[in-house]
Structure 1
Amino acid sequence: MAADSASSGPGGQPDLFSSVTVYSLAACAAQLIVGYILAQRLGRKCSGSDRWTLVWLFYDAIVHFTLEGPFVYLSLVGTVATSDSMMASLWKEYGKADTRWLHSDPTIVSLELLTVVLDGLLAVVLIYAIIKDKYYRHFVQITLCVCELYGGWMTFCPDWLLGSPSLNTNNWLYLWVYLVFFNGIWVVVPGLLLWHSWVELRKMHLGKQKPGKKSR
């Protein structure tokens, strides 16, 4: 288990809250704060709901480019486990919950490569489409959300089918914060945005219908 590599506290139990743990969680919070500030500044003319969508999209893009991008680089030139960089220390912390991120697992690296390049760029395009009120907004929104959901499924399904040998669920931090929360938000938010696109596209369709014609 990845937890074996963590420093131990009294009684031989893993020391969950090391300085790296605090740094890692603080970095994630800082990314969200930056996303919020950018959304408020650049989305001043957008509706309230669209500004919250922009908060997510800025955060999404920042995570893909500044967090997952370095992971891909580290995994292509070596492994997170053998790197001594500051960014590697953050991924080593997450690797306590999922060991595949430590050793350049080909499925994980392939998905993250696609996520950084495709999903990151789609998030930027969608930000522009929302701010400028472009006609292709919901096409890009649906595409991005499907990509995010597919990435989440393929991240965990292969390991689940093997009996989850790489996942450490022995304590609340690794299970509920690292695995459930930090991965779950990439399921819940894309799901909500898909529903939003469904509702908006239905409104557009109904607006074009002739009076008295029933929708299907």
Structure 2
Amino acid sequence: MGILSFLSKPEEEKVLSTRHPYYPTDLKLTNYTEPTHSTAVLLISFVIGLIVISGISLAVIIPKKTVESNHKPIFLWFIITGSIHFFFEGYFALYHENIAENNGLFAQMWKEYALSDSRYLTSDPFVVIMESITAVCWGPLSFLTAYAIYENLPFRYTLQIIVSLGQLYGLVLYYLTELMEGAAHCRPEAYYFWGYFFGVNFIWAILSVTLIRQGWHQISNFAKNVVRKKDIGVSRELWVNVII
């Protein structure tokens, strides 16, 4: 009877019945195909990509004598985060509808991450909108911030605050929208929640807060110096007028 019932279903409903490792267990994924690469291969590939990007970035920034040494790691961070936003998250923004059935390298990486948040395989409206904004806005602006650091441009700290605040805001919304549903889209194993969902993303929380704070202090110090110079100039002018 069960077989007859299945055979009587519409073709589309049969496809939706594909088995998969994602949560919730009743999640329906159209044309889902299992990844061909192991978790180790996917993670190593991602790390190698970051190492290559970091190596090129360091080769560019280290010889730059006009950039203070404590600003060079910040340059590196904005190149890394910009690359992740623009290329990796940009891939999701463009191809989110086909990731479940696609077995390209980036698609398989997203399938691995989706074990901690299956919304990435269902074109969840919030996730698609958030990742699209991240790819289109924070990706290019991260590169622009890195360029501003490299050239010591005056708007560098303003950009740093804007990008970091945008990242932090998106992250808070991302966390809360999932936690309010009881992490229903995450597998029960602790390492998926604490490692993938919480841990990896929390790097952006720590660095964003740090960079907002640093940028705020720098802009505040510049403003104080300008006000102090103006006050000194006014005082001198008053004394000159009194003497004359």
- With normalisation by structure 2, the TM-score equals 0.74
Aligned partner of 1:128 among 147, 151, 162: 147
Tell me how far apart the structure 1 counterparts of residues 194 and 222 of structure 2 sit (CA, whole Å): 39
Q: 1:200 to 1:190 in 2, by over 3 A?
A: same
Aligned partner of 1:153 among 172, 175, 184: 172
1:163 is aligned to 2:204: no
Tell me how far apart the structure 1 counterparts of residues 188 and 70 of structure 2 sit (CA, whole Å): 35
- Identity level (%): 25
- The aligned counterpart of 1:15 is none
Q: Would the aligned equivalents of 1:34 and 1:59 in 2 still touch at CA under 8 Å?
A: no
CA deviation vs aligned residue, 1:184-204 (integer Å, no higher than 9, x gap): 111111111111102211221
CA deviation vs aligned residue, 1:169-195 (integer Å, no higher than 9, x gap): 4232x1232112210111111111111
Tell me how far apart the structure 2 counterparts of residues 42 and 185 of structure 1 sit (CA, whole Å): 24
Structure 1 residues without counterparts, runs of 5 or longer? 7-17
Structure showing greater radius of gyration is: 2
Q: Would the aligned equivalents of 2:87 and 2:135 in 1 still touch at CA under 8 Å?
A: no
SS of equivalent residue, structure 2 residue 186: coil
- The aligned counterpart of 2:21 is 5
Structure 2 residues without counterparts, runs of 5 or longer? 1-19, 23-35, 232-244
- With normalisation by structure 1, the TM-score equals 0.82
Segments ≥4 residues shifted beyond 6 Å: none
Q: 1:101 to 1:165 in 2, by over 3 A?
A: same
Q: Would the aligned equivalents of 1:81 and 1:92 in 2 still touch at CA under 8 Å?
A: yes
- The aligned counterpart of 1:20 is 38
CA deviation vs aligned residue, 1:77-98 (integer Å, no higher than 9, x gap): x232122323211111111111
Amino acid in the other structure paired with 1:139: T
Amino acid in the other structure paired with 1:72: A
Q: CA RMSD in A?
A: 2.0
Q: Would the aligned equivalents of 1:39 and 1:58 in 2 still touch at CA under 8 Å?
A: yes
SS of equivalent residue, structure 1 residue 210: helix
CA deviation vs aligned residue, 1:51-80 (integer Å, no higher than 9, x gap): 1011111111111122111111211xx232
